[in-house]
Amino acid sequence: MSTPSTNNQATDKPVAGRRKYGFATAIAVVIANMIGTGVFTSLGFQLINFQSGFAILLLWTVGGVAALCGAMSYAELGAALPRSGGEYNFLTRIYHPAAGFVSGWVSATIGFAAPVALAAITFAAYATSVVDEGGSYWRQQALACALIMVMAAIHGGRRGASGAMQKIFTLIKLLVIIAFCSAAIFVLITPQPVSFLPSPTDADVIRSGAFAVSLIYVSFAYAGWNAATYLSGEIENPQKNLPRILTLGTLIVMVAYIALNAVFLKAAPIEDMVGQVEIGFIAAKALFGKAGADLTGLVMASLLISTVSAMTIAGPRVLQMIGQDFAAFARLAQINRDGIPSMAIYFQSAIAIGFIITSSFDFILVFAGFTLALNTFFTVLGVYVLRWREPTLARPYKTFGYPFTPLIFLILTAWTLTYVLIQRPVEGLFGLALIVGGVLFYIATKSVRGGGIKVK
């Protein structure tokens, strides 16, 4: 079996006449990938463990700092290794093709399919809450599956329609969040008695396992800060634009998340939100009454369309790169006349629909969050490994604050992963089992008929 090319400037194979995504579309993909299920659902699960306003906002701030540190680290890797595929591309080059394959395996099975499923489920929950609070389970499943199929059809078609839709829905998403937070300030006459100042008991909360486990919910909400690296080869001038796209996109989302959670906590009684998924609907009902909540529910449902849309754009590029490199998966690399990996898009969407039909929301969230955090941990660690192994490699962008920036991400992520294994061992062990399964699949498939998984 041959190994992938180690050409320092290796990128996706150019296709004559193929259009590329511009700066605006790429940053829209990052923002839309991040602002989705997590911020509109995870507060309810965090409040089960602790109900301190200061600790909650600190949680979202720490998660934002970790995401920003990760984004700046990925920016260096993406500029130095400008090929689509995200972690699959990075880990293949930095460690070994097996590491890249396992990363691609994770991305293919849960990395994007699980978040797409969660976003679609949340979309359906908000949409049906207007008609019937709580909604019919089967109605929600059908609506969630329908959304995924529509997005797959759009993004598996023409690039112009795909990019235009993503920019429009992302702009709407940001404007709605700004409008919601602004309206809440004017409407909120009697805010809930939640303090955002530290109290003597907050130190114990922050040191607890519950805080670390809650950080996995926040990490999942921030997941997507690395989205642009999945389509590096399709971005105009990636070596210059990618660092700006990742950093600016993450900063915008961080501010939006902290503002939204502050509004949620001040708007609705904590007891109404504990363990609930439709946090935005509950807060809107407390702020604007039933009619206002119905309208807000529909608007927030529409926001999640852009999340499903963005992940349907970014995720399949990992499958496409696997298809290009491994002959056994060549069909996933098939592209249409616009250079879009339509087969990979349909495959990922089918997996997401499978998650909707078979799994619970909370289990998918923790399971996916743990596994994705492990994936990004080794990728950020790769910044140190690549500098050590290839010190002369051209790096158009170097991580700001190196070596401390990647180290902050690694420490926070390791702390979170450890406590998830302690507090939620079932989800953690499922994540580790998925990774082991990827290794075994790589070995088994490679040996079929004397190497049926030949790298091209």
* Distance, CA of 389 to CA of 382 (rounded, Å): 10
Query: Is the predicted pLDDT of residue 227 greater than 80, yes or no?
Result: no
Domains (range + CATH), the chain: 23-450 (1.20.1740.10)
**Tens-digit pLDDT profile for residues 115-144:** 888 888 888 877 776 666 555 677 788 888
* Distance, CA of 171 to CA of 160 (rounded, Å): 17
| Structural contact between residues 355 and 113, judged by C-beta atoms closer than 8 angstroms | yes
Provide the pLDDT for residue 25. 75
Query: What are the angstrom distances between the C-alpha of 329 and each of 321, 323, 445?
Result: 10, 5, 10
- Give the helix/strand (H/E) hosting 180: helix 159-187
Percent of the chain clearing pLDDT 90 (strictly above)? 9
Provide the pLDDT for residue 451. 39
Coil, helix or strand at residue 72:
helix
**Tens-digit pLDDT profile for residues 274-287:** 877 778 788 888 88
Task: Give Cβ neighbours of residue 356 (< 8 Å, ≥ 6 apart).
Answer: 117, 120, 121, 141, 144, 145, 148
Region 11-29: mean pLDDT is 61
Burial of 327 (0-12, 13-18, 19+ CB in 10 A): middle
| Structural contact between residues 46 and 59, judged by C-beta atoms closer than 8 angstroms | yes
* Distance, CA of 49 to CA of 56 (rounded, Å): 11
Query: Is the predicted pLDDT of residue 168 greater than 70, yes or no?
Result: yes
The H-assigned helical ranges of 315-449 are 316-325, 342-358, 361-389, 404-423, 425-447
* Distance, CA of 293 to CA of 269 (rounded, Å): 15
Provide the pLDDT for residue 20. 66
Query: Is the predicted pLDDT of residue 50 greater than 50, yes or no?
Result: yes
Residue 142's identity, in one-letter code, is: A
Provide the pLDDT for residue 16. 43
Region 217-242: mean pLDDT is 73
- Give the helix/strand (H/E) hosting 189: none
Region 379-405: mean pLDDT is 91
Note the pTM of the prediction, 2 decimals.
0.71
Q: Residue 115: phi, psi to the nearest 5? A: -60, -35
Query: What are the angstrom distances between the C-alpha of 136 and each of 34, 65, 122, 132, 298?
Result: 27, 38, 13, 8, 16
Query: What are the b/e assignments for 332-369, b being 16+ CB within 10 Å?
Result: bbebeebbbbbbbbbbbbebbbebbeebebbebbbbbb
Provide the pLDDT for residue 228. 64
Long-range contact set of residues 150-154: C-beta below 8 Å, sequence gap at least 24: 151/305, 151/308, 151/309, 151/312, 151/349, 152/312, 152/345, 152/346, 152/349, 154/309
| Structural contact between residues 367 and 114, judged by C-beta atoms closer than 8 angstroms | yes
Region 339-353: mean pLDDT is 86
**Tens-digit pLDDT profile for residues 398-454:** 888 999 999 999 999 998 888 888 888 888 888 888 888 888 888 876 654 333 444
Query: Is the predicted pLDDT of residue 8 greater than 50, yes or no?
Result: no
Query: Is the predicted pLDDT of residue 10 greater than 50, yes or no?
Result: no
* Distance, CA of 319 to CA of 344 (rounded, Å): 6
Query: Is the predicted pLDDT of residue 5 greater than 60, yes or no?
Result: no
Residue 222's identity, in one-letter code, is: Y
* Distance, CA of 110 to CA of 220 (rounded, Å): 12
**Tens-digit pLDDT profile for residues 299-317:** 777 777 877 877 787 778 7
Provide the pLDDT for residue 386. 94
Query: Is the predicted pLDDT of residue 157 greater than 80, yes or no?
Result: no
Instruction: Enter the tokens of residue 215.
Output: 């950080």
Region 348-365: mean pLDDT is 81
Provide the pLDDT for residue 443. 81
- Residue 13's pLDDT band, with cuts at 50, 70 and 90, is very low
Task: Say what angle helices 209-222 and 37-49 make with each other, to 10 degrees.
Answer: 170
Region 48-70: mean pLDDT is 89
Average pLDDT, the chain: 78
Neighbours of 172 (CB within 10 A): 15
Q: Which of 400, 355, 30 is nearest to 223 (CA)?
A: 30
Provide the pLDDT for residue 57. 92
Provide the pLDDT for residue 166. 65
Provide the pLDDT for residue 142. 87
Neighbours of 386 (CB within 10 A): 20
Provide the pLDDT for residue 6. 38
**Tens-digit pLDDT profile for residues 289-298:** 877 777 777 7
Provide the pLDDT for residue 58. 92
Provide the pLDDT for residue 3. 36
Provide the pLDDT for residue 405. 93
Provide the pLDDT for residue 410. 95
**Tens-digit pLDDT profile for residues 77-100:** 888 887 766 788 889 889 988 888
Query: Is the predicted pLDDT of residue 347 greater than 70, yes or no?
Result: yes
For the ranges 43-57, 94-108, 159-173, 180-194, the lowest mean pLDDT is seen at 159-173
Task: Give Cβ neighbours of residue 197 (< 8 Å, ≥ 6 apart).
Answer: 54
Query: Is the predicted pLDDT of residue 9 greater than 70, yes or no?
Result: no
Query: Is the predicted pLDDT of residue 201 greater than 50, yes or no?
Result: yes
Q: What radius of gyration, in Å, describes the C-alpha atoms of the chain?
A: 21
- Residue 198's pLDDT band, with cuts at 50, 70 and 90, is confident
Provide the pLDDT for residue 135. 53
Provide the pLDDT for residue 131. 63
